[in-house]
Structure 1
Amino acid sequence: MGAYSLSLSVSLLVFAFLGAGVWIFAGVLLVSVSSLLILLDFPIDRIAVLAKTAMFRSSTGWELSALPLFIWMGEIVFRTDVAERLFRGLSPLANCVPGRLLHTNVSGCTLFGAVCGSSAATAATVGKITTKALAQRGYDVDLTIGSLAAAGSLGLLIPPSIVMIVYGVIAEVSIAKLFIAGFVPGFIIAGVFSCFIAVRCWLKPSLSPAEEISLGVGEAARAMLGLWPVLLLIIVVMGSIYTGIATPTEAAAVGVGATFAIAALTRQLSWGLAQESALAAVRSSCMILSIMISASLLSTTLAYLHIPNDLAHVVQQSGLGPYQLIIAIGVLYLVLGCFLDGVSITVMTMPVVLPLITAAGFDPLWFGVFLVIMVELGQITPPVGFNLFVLQGLTGQPLSRVAKASAPFGILMLACLAVLTIWPGIVMWLPNLLQP
């Protein structure tokens, strides 16, 4: 069978199992086993040995230990008043530009994303404060929802990022360099979002209220002091990585300790908080790692079927240019983002996509940022955009309205991605400058 026929057969199996509502990790395992049995006629005992080897190899990487620790750090922060402190601290600064407090959605999600690593958690934590506050002050509902849903996705790009850790392990790319590479694109996208809000409100002032409560210099300074927990965590975690003091895994452990210390200093530390956050981190980590383990067997299966190499050869022979290839892959990720979460997309596509990318001359480090931005877009595309569901639950608005409000920000994200593709040096500059 040719590469196209084998790829089609495997794709049909994927859609058959996942379309039947099977859990993702179980569906991927079934696809792998079925492919080995049907397409390669492997005996059961050999499949068992392959599964054991692949799963052990994918689950024993030292880098993976950072994943549950960063998730735990985010869960602790989620259960404290850090988001409320963020809103109060950013409000005096946001009042100075058109759009006023709408900018707290973007800046709050950007800062919170630097200590969380999860898109949905960032949108939910910041949103539970800002949606109510902005609605009470009379801000435009659609602009509030759209900016929050889109900016919340920056939790995947601004390090530490769960998707970046998963990609780094699979693609064998330095996680520290991936974290560094995400900073500039993340802040560029956040800046574009803020510029869009400012222009919209400047052209149509009714989108934001004309009167705001003015704070004195002393009151504004005291409010901005509320930013210290987030800023301290960023300095401790990211600073330890970029100065070379700690690896990402060690920095994750330091971050958990610092988060507990902050919870204690703000008198929010309790046994209940520690227990609930730990259990939530275990559930999330088990979900992600189970998908990674099952995907490792799928990767092995595809290798035995020679699908990645055959497809790479087909692409090379077809004369498809690098930009045409990246557009085709981008369209694929847009479609997948409508139905799957970022971790699933990453682990399921890497065995096929990564050889194509490297053969076309793209840097795997740059592609990691490209992938994360595409995953971010999936967070705000229906029918399974997780941030859309988060905002629907927070605001009570129909899903269609939430998706429509997020659409302009999705277009802006695509425009930023096009710029990063044409000028990849924007992504590569900081990692090349800082070599942890």
Structure 2
Amino acid sequence: MPQASLLRQITDFANRANPYPVYEELRRTPVLHEEEGGPYIISSYYDIEALLHDPRISSDAANLAAAGDDELSQAENTGLPPSFLRLDPPEHDRLRRIANSAFGPPHRPRRIENMRGELGGIVTELIDGFGDARQIDLVDQFAYPFPVTVICRLLGVPREDEPRFRAWVDPLVASLDPGTRQNADADFQKSAREARMQLGMYLAGLVEQRTKEPRDDLLSDLASSRGPDGAMTMMEVLSTAVLLLIAGHETTVNLITNGMLTLLRHPDILRRLREDPGLSVKIVEELLRYEPPVQLVPQRTCIADIEVRGVTIPKGARIWLVLAAGNRDPERFKDPERFDPERGDIQHLGFGSGIHSCFGAPLARLETQVALSELARRLENPRLVEDPPPYRQNAVLRGPRHLNISFDGVR
């Protein structure tokens, strides 16, 4: 049987537990184009970084649909406008500035840092909830509920409504995966559209409440913003809120889970973290390089001819940027296959780069630092039950679906 193309190997679930040999093969052809009408795949660090800053690379959903990726536009066709993640300047910049005025500096410089105590309280409550158990599924009992609780509180979603989000978010996240979309049937597309619609309708009710009775939460700020960029429309507020709910927790679930899996595979570093919680800052940065939750960015289109390493990528072509391959590029990082929190130069691509760099990066960093340091401190002799664990289907947002851990007790 002939070997599958590298494009197919990237999305093949058989490679999900360890995609890095495929990425190593990819880097031998830094600009890969295997199929007529298919994407150009970029896998080297310096090329990815340059393209993420190149204004000739479009994130606009309309350009992606024109390039032939109709499935994604159909999945998002729910009446809500694209989020700023799927727009180009100047409209992207306007919406992102408004959103950032409610989220962080310079307008809310300590909004995230001031949540540190609350984050610690949520983590303590979740670990206490393990009770007398000697084995847990870290995903279901910790890594998923923690960031969901955090982003819901940040936005102002009532706690009793938090469990409803998983039924809405799972099909939306699945629709981002190119492999899933290629094999999707009509029912899958319908479920993704309905989930986004239901989530939007739910949030519309909350935004209406916050417009009348503002509170100290992100939804109130988005609904009432009247800065130099003007105000968001109701539909723009809803689209931004949907983006924050999905992006605000899904990547963090994977970062925490990938992080604990990596630490359990490196018990010496786990022991050091237990003794020195401050090491969590370096550990999280190295995790974002070594096991990034976002493996690739498949939603980019050329709006002009671009030459990369002597290859002309034509106007209208789709581009996939394989961030995880760039993060282990030996041209950029010494001994890239080694997990080393003491790396001195760690300008990774874990949160992307350029105008679309991860909006929630400060929150994701803080959540993961708090989560990993407390798990290391409180779990006695933690160890993996199964290695490799079962993974999610998604090739874009990669992480274990379950991570069963046994331990001797909870401190």
Structure 2 length normalisation: TM-score? 0.27
Higher helix share: 1
Higher strand share: 2
* Larger CA Rg, structure 1 vs 2: 1
Structure 1 length normalisation: TM-score? 0.26
